[in-house]
């Protein structure tokens, strides 16, 4: 009953409209989104064929020969990319916290900025990372506990029972991962907005999700059509850049032969990747703003602060001054 009452109070349309307005008007927030996008990375999968596999094998031999002859360079490159990944991850967490803090300033009609937001975000880095580590470890432990019985049954060639147990484990694991995701999301909001400790933020994150399960799921479902629209936009960008740089490539090829084609390909990929990062930066800000406004609405963070302040005031009034004592 509490869930239904809370769900009625959430104005999803207003949250989305307000998120769009903030994202479009406060363009300096896109810098937070940029670091969040770069820290998230991109993944692409390409189908293959037998001929392609043969070519890959030939390239693997060439790569293997290069690695054996220039292993120092390979180690240096690997170290560079690992270090780059760590730096981008750090910037992503700080930017996420800074964005939330800045959104809170905007909600209070204060003048926010990327510089101040990023500075504030540094304060919450280790707490947010610790929450991520705790929840990840809990999920990994659960995976191990649930997978051992199924693996043991498969080892005993008990396929039917093994599949049944594996299915049950999967049915338990998926909701658990979803629960951990929401708890982590809301716990981070509590850490940044209420300056709570890790234990208290996790407890409050669990409680706020438990009381708003339906509302949280509905808010998540909104991102399905948004992600579809984003995918269509990315495909449209790929098509536009493909056509433009195909024409440029044909023109350059007629002028400077194969070098022109190479220039067109490199330029096209560069422009597409830059556009992809730019779009993803704005998208990250929009998504974080939606969840921020949703959290503020379901958690009633301002009301909680007022209650805490009033309780502190009562305590102060109940303590006699030195003169009265």
- The answer as to whether 320 is a domain residue is no
DSSP string, 267-323: HHHHHHHHHHHHHHHHHHHHHHHHHHHHHHHHHTHHHHHHHHHHHHHHHHHHSPPTT
- The answer as to whether 18 is a domain residue is yes
Q: Given the structure tokens 């803090």, which residue do they identify?
A: 101
- pTM over 0.85? The answer is no
User: Kindly report the CA angle at 291 between 288 and 296, in degrees rounded to 5?
Assistant: 125
- The answer as to whether 201 is a domain residue is yes
- The answer as to whether 291 is a domain residue is yes
- The answer as to whether 324 is a domain residue is no
Instruction: Give the N- to C-terminal CA distance of the chain in Å, as an integer.
Output: 50
In this prediction, residue 188 carries a pLDDT of 93
User: CB neighbours of 161 closer than 8 A, spacing ≥ 6?
Assistant: 153
Q: Given the structure tokens 């536009």, which residue do they identify?
A: 240
In this prediction, residue 307 carries a pLDDT of 45
- The answer as to whether 322 is a domain residue is no
Dihedral sign of CA atoms 47, 39, 203, 223 in order = negative
In this prediction, residue 292 carries a pLDDT of 93
pLDDT 10s per residue in the chain (325 long)?
A: 444 444 457 888 899 999 999 999 889 999 998 999 888 744 333 333 344 344 445 455 556 665 666 667 778 888 888 898 899 999 999 999 999 999 998 888 888 788 888 998 899 999 999 999 999 999 999 999 988 888 888 888 888 888 888 889 889 999 999 999 999 999 999 999 988 899 999 999 999 999 899 999 999 999 899 889 888 988 888 888 888 877 877 777 777 767 777 777 888 888 888 888 898 999 999 999 999 999 988 887 544 444 444 444 444 444 444 444 4
In this prediction, residue 305 carries a pLDDT of 46
Counting the structural domains of the chain, the total is 1
Residue whose C-alpha is closest to residue 98's, from 14, 16, 34:
34
- The answer as to whether 319 is a domain residue is no
In this prediction, residue 322 carries a pLDDT of 41
- The answer as to whether 325 is a domain residue is no
Which secondary-structure segment (H or E) carries 113?
none
Domain that holds residue 176: 2-314
């Amino acid at each position: 009953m509490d869930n239904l009452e809370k769900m009625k109070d959430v104005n999803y349309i207003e949250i989305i409209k307000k998120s769009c307005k903030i994202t479009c008007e406060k363009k300096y927030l896109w810098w937070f989104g940029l670091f969040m996008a770069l820290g998230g990375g991109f993944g692409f999968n390409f189908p293959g064929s037998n001929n392609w596999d043969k070519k890959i094998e030939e390239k693997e031999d060439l790569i293997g020969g290069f690695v054996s002859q220039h292993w120092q360079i390979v180690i240096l490159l690997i170290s560079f990319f690992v270090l780059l990944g760590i730096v981008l991850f750090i910037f992503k967490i700080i930017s996420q916290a800074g964005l939330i803090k800045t959104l809170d300033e905007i909600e209070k009609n204060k003048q926010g900025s990327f510089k101040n937001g990023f500075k504030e975000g540094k304060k919450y880095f280790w707490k947010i990372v610790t929450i991520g580590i705790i929840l990840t470890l809990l999920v990994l432990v659960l995976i191990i506990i649930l997978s051992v019985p199924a693996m043991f049954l498969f080892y005993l060639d008990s396929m039917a029972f093994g599949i049944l147990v594996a299915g049950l484990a999967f049915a338990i694991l998926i909701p658990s991962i979803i629960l951990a995701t929401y708890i982590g999301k809301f716990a981070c909001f509590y850490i940044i907005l209420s300056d709570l400790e890790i234990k208290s933020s996790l407890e409050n994150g669990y409680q706020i999700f438990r009381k708003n399960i339906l509302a949280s799921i509905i808010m998540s479902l909104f991102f399905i059509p948004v992600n579809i629209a984003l995918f269509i936009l990315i495909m449209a960008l790929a098509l536009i850049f493909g056509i433009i740089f195909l024409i440029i490539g044909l023109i350059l090829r007629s002028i400077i032969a194969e070098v022109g084609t190479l220039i067109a390909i490199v330029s096209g990929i560069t422009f597409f990747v830059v556009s992809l990062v730019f779009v993803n930066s704005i998208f990250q800000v929009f998504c974080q703003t939606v969840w921020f406004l949703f959290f503020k609405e379901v958690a009633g963070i301002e009301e909680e602060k007022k209650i805490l302040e009033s309780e502190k005031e009562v305590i102060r009034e109940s303590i006699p001054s030195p003169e009265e004592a």
